[in-house]
Structure 1
Amino acid sequence: MATMRRIIRSMAQRYLGNLFEKADIAVDGQRPWDIRINDQRFYETVVAGGSLALGESYMDGWWDCQALNQFFYRLLKQGIDRTYCQKFPALIGKMKALLCNRQNRRRAFQVGERHYDAGNDLFALMLDSSLTYSCGYWRRAETLEHAQQAKLDLICRKLNLQPGMRLLDIGCGWGSLALFAARNYGVEVVGLTVSEEQAHLARERCAGLPVEIRLQDYRELDTTFDAIASVGMFEHVGYKNYRAFMRVVQRCLAGDGLFLLHTIGANSSVRCCDPWFDKYIFPNGMLPSIRQLGAAIEPLFIMEDWQNLGVDYEKTVLSWYRNFEANWERIKRRYSERFYRMWRYYLLSVAGGFRARHIQVWQLVLAHHGTSRGYRSIRCPQCVA
């Protein structure tokens, strides 16, 4: 038995070594993106379990890497995620996505409980002061604070918000857009979230402003708004619900109103999330593709504008990571070492994915019948440093 185990481990070691070599990654090398193996079980476990095992073995301390973002950039740039054979956890995820609606009403609040309720203290120390948990806009910004203010202003200008209008924010988070739009554009806002922690803090932050924060699933909406935005929420909707989501927006958007959708996007169509991210970070999540978005929109809306902000997200996530590392000592008593390694793996793998252009960020502006005078694409916000 011991001899067989050694043979299996040796084969797994050669197999992974060849994969890493194609991405210019060395095992026990000296460069920041090289990996150091701390537990020899790493090899056969990762070969058998794929991306789920890779993430879990890092959380367990079986391997380390000084620059995880560069490690993932090299893997994804080489397309190893496409050539590496499918593993059992990934196949199970695909079967679940095909056989059931993983983002139905009954499961809608799971991501809030598992991710967004992780702790307001954690997010407050990681994000900028506006608590904006989506891609910043760095065209003229030098800091995370300015990048997020610029992104919020860009959204408001794209929606052509005017004093007295009613704005619906689907997936309002901690109220960053609601707060910004109410203060700077004089609009009334209804914000929706599936996180109790987010709803509690958002209500505190928006006190005294014409802002209502609801703990509510988007499918329960039935009132009309002058403009609608959804920023960083569509990743939780699921491909079986894309059309239903768009029908809700169509039902709730005034005849001449605009809808802005801000979402992370995939380069190809999928039906489920990476197994590690599904288990530990965003349960039931998945990224839409251009084809999936187009099918959901047609023929409900006219697409007035489509902007790709993907290159800005690497800088945003690395800013979050630096804040997380700088403030970890202040909050680590509430969290385990395994959580620390999980969160580090999450942030830096995402940064590597954006650098490799493996994933994108899109802002779409949609209208019922198109604006009569045409839509003027806006790329430069007014609120910049």
Structure 2
Amino acid sequence: MTSDTSIGPIVLPDTRARHIVEQLLKNSGVALNGNAPQDLRVYHPDFFSRLLHQGTLGLGEAYMDGWWKCDRIDEMAYRLLQHGLGERAHTPSERLMYRLQAGFFNLQSRARAYIVGEAHYDLGNDLFERMLDPTMCYSCGYWKEASTLHEAQQAKLELACRKLQLEPGMRVLDIGCGWGSFAEHAARHHGVEVTGITISREQAELARQRCQDLPVTIELKDYRDLEGRYDRIVSIGMFEHVGHRNYPTYFETVAQQLVPEGLFLLHTIGSNNSEISADPWINKYIFPNGVLPSAMHIARTSEDHLLLEDWQNFGPDYDPTLMAWLENFDTHWNEVAANYNERTRRMFRYYLAVCAGAFRARHLQLWQVVFSRYRPRRYDAPR
């Protein structure tokens, strides 16, 4: 894995803004212009005022602009979150603006559903093929008995299949199928027929290629336009794009598509609290209009439609998953560098490293939740 090495003189402006930032960092384990891997090395005199005025948006954009560097951004983020700077890093105006937008507008409406696909997932299959493992899973792996990223992703897919109790000939719906990782695995190893939907054209095209010899259909479609009935439904890494205003519609749609004795598995990143918010930098550059659900959001909005059978949290497994993606990204960047620019490289490095630190600090969770419509017998989930 490459690190950020110095490319210019350290800037040490003796300003009020710098003093405030130093006080915020005090006892966090992160120093300004220090020698430890997690320390910030500042190269622009306006960094401190930008950070205080723009919060996490300013921090991320300043990194993309080359204003600061850090050998281990993941460790920096971990220490800052452990120090309690997570909320303080968001300016009041940032929080207020998002709450107003989310309160008055449906940021994840049908008309806006394809924005995240175009902005992130359609960025380039060449980049994601080098960052991910051969399964093309773009979600948390399951590292309980795995020692490599590929083993962890295969274990995650198989865990989902076992929780769904798949049997040959079943009809399975994959909501947010990505590049077809679950669809391919379930069809190939469990003999089921899979219909996958995605809002990304690039994902749909590659998923069709990967599954062309299997009973798999990939459609470019929003979940609100679904029709048909399925024995099993799965959704891995898509619920983060649904939005709190649409949770009731989402669970109602799932219940309508599921046969009476069917099972539904929801795999999603989760928030520790129920406040409707989003990190401004992530919202702008990585997942536009995304919002993380809390446990209460999921339980409350699903209870009128589905029976909650099982809930598993393996959030700490996202840390090694993200670090493995970062290592792949760094290792193979030169193979695709001609198709992108340096700012994109820094954007992806920052995104992967900061998120790894957030999961390491248990600031974020990863849940697999199993639902049924009606189960006359006991459900025992594998682990």
Q: TM-score range by the shorter chain?
A: over 0.9
Among residues 13, 18, 35, which one is paired with 1:13 in the alignment? Answer: 18
Matched, 1:185 2:199: no
Query: Any idea what the Cα deviations from partners look like across 1:2-60, whole Å, max 9, x if unmatched?
Result: xxxxxx97221111111112312110001000100000100111101111111001100
Cα deviation for residue 192 of structure 1 reads 0.4
Tell me the residue number matched to 1:378. Answer: 382
Tell me the residue number matched to 2:87. Answer: 82
Please state whether the residue corresponding to 1:167 is helix, strand or coil.
strand
Cα deviation for residue 246 of structure 1 reads 0.2
Among residues 223, 226, 235, which one is paired with 2:231 in the alignment? Answer: 226
Cα deviation for residue 84 of structure 1 reads 4.4
Within 2, Cα distance between the matches of 1:324 and 1:361?
22
Among residues 315, 319, 323, which one is paired with 2:328 in the alignment? Answer: 323
Q: Could you tell me whether the CA contact under 8 Å between 2:56 and 2:89 is conserved in 1?
A: no
Aligned-partner residue type, residue 374 of structure 1: R
Please state whether the residue corresponding to 2:369 is helix, strand or coil.
strand
Q: Could you tell me whether the CA contact under 8 Å between 1:33 and 1:67 is conserved in 2?
A: yes
Matched, 1:152 2:157: yes
Q: Could you tell me whether the CA contact under 8 Å between 1:72 and 1:353 is conserved in 2?
A: yes
Task: Give runs of aligned pairs for residues 56-71 of structure 1, distance below 5 A.
Answer: 56-71=61-76
Please state whether the residue corresponding to 1:22 is helix, strand or coil.
coil
Cα deviation for residue 87 of structure 1 reads 3.8
Tell me the residue number matched to 2:258. Answer: 253
Tell me the residue number matched to 1:168. Answer: 173
Q: Could you tell me whether the CA contact under 8 Å between 1:259 and 1:366 is conserved in 2?
A: yes
What percent identity do the matched residue pairs reach? Answer: 49
Q: Could you tell me whether the CA contact under 8 Å between 2:174 and 2:197 is conserved in 1?
A: yes
Within 1, Cα distance between the matches of 2:221 and 2:259?
21
Q: Could you tell me whether the CA contact under 8 Å between 1:98 and 1:271 is conserved in 2?
A: no
Tell me the residue number matched to 1:53. Answer: 58
Task: Give runs of aligned pairs for residues 285-300 of structure 1, distance below 5 A.
Answer: 285-300=290-305
Among residues 18, 26, 30, which one is paired with 1:25 in the alignment? Answer: 30
Q: Could you tell me whether the CA contact under 8 Å between 1:9 and 1:43 is conserved in 2?
A: no
Tell me the residue number matched to 2:5. Answer: none
Among residues 360, 366, 374, which one is paired with 2:365 in the alignment? Answer: 360
Query: Any idea what the Cα deviations from partners look like across 1:49-80, whole Å, max 9, x if unmatched?
Result: 11111100110000101000000001111221
Q: Structure 1 pair 84/134, CA: closer, same or farther in 2 (3 Å)?
A: closer
Q: Structure 1 pair 83/53, CA: closer, same or farther in 2 (3 Å)?
A: closer
Aligned-partner residue type, residue 372 of structure 1: P
Query: Any idea what the Cα deviations from partners look like across 1:158-181, whole Å, max 9, x if unmatched?
Result: 000000000000000000000000
Aligned-partner residue type, residue 324 of structure 2: S
Stretches of structure 1 lacking an aligned partner (at least 5 in a row): 1-7, 380-385
Cα deviation for residue 220 of structure 1 reads 0.3
Tell me the residue number matched to 2:96. Answer: 91
Tell me the residue number matched to 2:130. Answer: 125
Please state whether the residue corresponding to 1:26 is helix, strand or coil.
coil
Cα deviation for residue 270 of structure 1 reads 2.7
Divergent runs of 4+, >6 A: none
Q: Structure 1 pair 209/348, CA: closer, same or farther in 2 (3 Å)?
A: same
Within 1, Cα distance between the matches of 2:220 and 2:14?
50
Please state whether the residue corresponding to 2:15 is helix, strand or coil.
helix
Within 1, Cα distance between the matches of 2:89 and 2:36?
24
Cα deviation for residue 372 of structure 1 reads 1.8
Please state whether the residue corresponding to 1:259 is helix, strand or coil.
strand
Q: Structure 1 pair 85/172, CA: closer, same or farther in 2 (3 Å)?
A: closer
Among residues 313, 322, 329, which one is paired with 1:308 in the alignment? Answer: 313
Q: Could you tell me whether the CA contact under 8 Å between 2:56 and 2:90 is conserved in 1?
A: no
Within 1, Cα distance between the matches of 2:253 and 2:89?
39
Cα deviation for residue 85 of structure 1 reads 6.0
Stretches of structure 2 lacking an aligned partner (at least 5 in a row): 1-12
Within 2, Cα distance between the matches of 1:205 and 1:187?
16
Cα deviation for residue 272 of structure 1 reads 3.2
Within 2, Cα distance between the matches of 1:199 and 1:235?
19
Tell me the residue number matched to 1:211. Answer: 216
Q: Could you tell me whether the CA contact under 8 Å between 1:260 and 1:365 is conserved in 2?
A: yes
Cα deviation for residue 208 of structure 1 reads 1.9
Query: Any idea what the Cα deviations from partners look like across 1:177-215, whole Å, max 9, x if unmatched?
Result: 000000000000000000000000000110021100000
Aligned-partner residue type, residue 295 of structure 1: R
Aligned-residue CA RMSD (Å)? 1.1
Cα deviation for residue 273 of structure 1 reads 1.6
Q: Could you tell me whether the CA contact under 8 Å between 1:270 and 1:286 is conserved in 2?
A: no
Aligned-partner residue type, residue 363 of structure 1: Q
Among residues 322, 332, 346, which one is paired with 1:341 in the alignment? Answer: 346
Please state whether the residue corresponding to 1:66 is helix, strand or coil.
coil
Cα deviation for residue 82 of structure 1 reads 2.2
Please state whether the residue corresponding to 1:133 is helix, strand or coil.
coil
Within 1, Cα distance between the matches of 2:218 and 2:88?
45
Q: Could you tell me whether the CA contact under 8 Å between 1:270 and 1:288 is conserved in 2?
A: no
Aligned-partner residue type, residue 306 of structure 1: W
Aligned-partner residue type, residue 136 of structure 1: G
Q: Structure 1 pair 138/104, CA: closer, same or farther in 2 (3 Å)?
A: same
Cα deviation for residue 91 of structure 1 reads 2.3
Matched, 1:137 2:135: no
Among residues 231, 239, 245, which one is paired with 1:240 in the alignment? Answer: 245
Could you tell me the TM-score, scaled by structure 1's length?
0.95
